[in-house]
Amino acid sequence: MKPINVGLLGIGTVGSGTFRVLQRNSEEISRRAGRAIRISVVADKDTARAQAIVGDAARVTADALEVVNDPQIDIVVELIGGYTVSKELVLKAIANGKHVVTANKALLALHGNEIFAAALKNGVTVAFEAAVGGGIPIIKSLREGLTANRIEWIAGIVNGTSNFILSEMRAKGAAFDDVLQEAQRLGFAEADPTFDIEGVDAAHKITIMAAICFGIPMQFSKAHVEGITKLTQDDIRYAEELGYRIKLLGIAKRKSAGFELRVHPTLIPTRQLIANVEGVMNAVLVKGDAVGQTMYYGAGAGAEPTASAVVADLVDVARMLTADPEHRVPHLAFQADQLSNAPILPMGEVETSYYLRLRVADKAGVLADITRILADQGISIEALVQKEPHAGEEQVDIIMLTHLTREKKIDAAIRRIEGLPVISGKITRIRMEALQ
């Protein structure tokens, strides 16, 4: 049978890993796909480096458009990143009747609706397992393995950089800035780590997973996004003392009025498996009504872990090339005309529990004033710890854990409490999830 010809756009870390995996495991891959899959042309601006990687196995060009317009190419693999040039190339490949495999979470989170509509119109597919969770097969699990379930919620550690930073801060007692520099030195963080540490990367990924879980369009602009830059060593230590770990979670939940879609630092009980995921590893916890909880764990980035997902997508596309387009697995698990229009809930309507840290004057009556304000908002306290003042200090830390409440109520309570003359500075608020 005629081999599948692949055009590779970008041969950086993931692209070179994809080339190596395809070369090394070519026999296994061919047996699984039913035909050979080969990268026949590579587009990269650094043609000399690209040629050094592929040798005589593929043609190299600096012109990505040449690849997407090549009539001999069956599948285009987009590993350029970003969402301007990559969008144009992907849409052009689709218009030319080519299937697309991409690891580009930002592209899909922002423009996935347009891209999937174009693919449906042209009878091609867009595969994107590598866009979320590196080598973890989370997209296939959500789209196919859990298809019998009404998925109730999903929560994931899906950014290895932020997880490494939080793990090191907890284990070594180091400050955020120091650990970030170490992550950059080790290659776990980019020179500009903004997307990672501010939660944007995780928000791209939870947007994609939420769309598949709930059968809703991509709605990145409606996600609440909060990073880890404001976390202090005090909060990590206090969380540990109370039996919790702080992780940057992407969370999506089904509610009667719509869906929650949020990324933020979260206190998780230490007894939960996901709370013990350390370093650059990723993990995703999914709750289905039939299966209960399932967890998916593994390397969330890296050349060959991500290449594993890219090649798996290539095999899937190769298997269904001759299939009727109307009977392929839908991009977002649900049929395109059956997507829900239920809204993404504003953050004020989100229900969760909270960790509050307050710096207060060490005097009588302070706690009574604070608890009265919380009671006025219908917020009950699950636990309260007042730390001993250091020698010569007239202020102490108070840590409170609340029961479940609505975010707009905690916002209103914080505004009033911060107005008390006995409160020093801003209140630290971190959301909590039991994940039960």
Is 0.85 topped by the overall pTM? Answer: yes
In this structure, are residues 212 and 181 in contact, taking their beta carbons and an 8 Å threshold?
A: no
CATH code of domain 4-134+303-336: 3.40.50.720
Fold that domain 349-432 belongs to in CATH: Alpha-Beta Plaits (3.30.70)
Compute the Cα dihedral for 386, 387, 390, 395 and give only its sign.
negative
Count of C-beta atoms within a 10 Å radius of residue 337: 7
CATH code of domain 138-299: 3.30.360.10
The pLDDT score that the predictor gives to residue 362 is 87
Count of C-beta atoms within a 10 Å radius of residue 339: 17
**End-to-end alpha carbon distance in the chain:** 50
The answer to whether the 4-134+303-336 and 138-299 domains have the same CATH topology is no
Catalytic residues: 205
Backbone dihedral angles phi then psi of residue 149, each to the nearest 5 degrees: -95, 150
Nearest to 247 by CA among 255, 259, 261, 235: 235
Q: Tens digit of pLDDT for each residue in 50-103?
A: 999 999 999 999 999 999 999 999 999 999 999 999 999 999 999 999 999 999
Q: Tens digit of pLDDT for each residue in 321-354?
A: 866 777 788 888 888 889 999 999 999 999 999 9
Q: Tens digit of pLDDT for each residue in 169-216?
A: 999 999 999 999 999 999 999 999 999 999 999 999 999 999 999 999
157-171, 367-381, 383-397, range with the lowest pLDDT? 383-397
Burial of 51 (0-12, 13-18, 19+ CB in 10 A): middle
Domain ranges within the chain, ordered by starting residue: 4-134+303-336, 138-299, 349-432
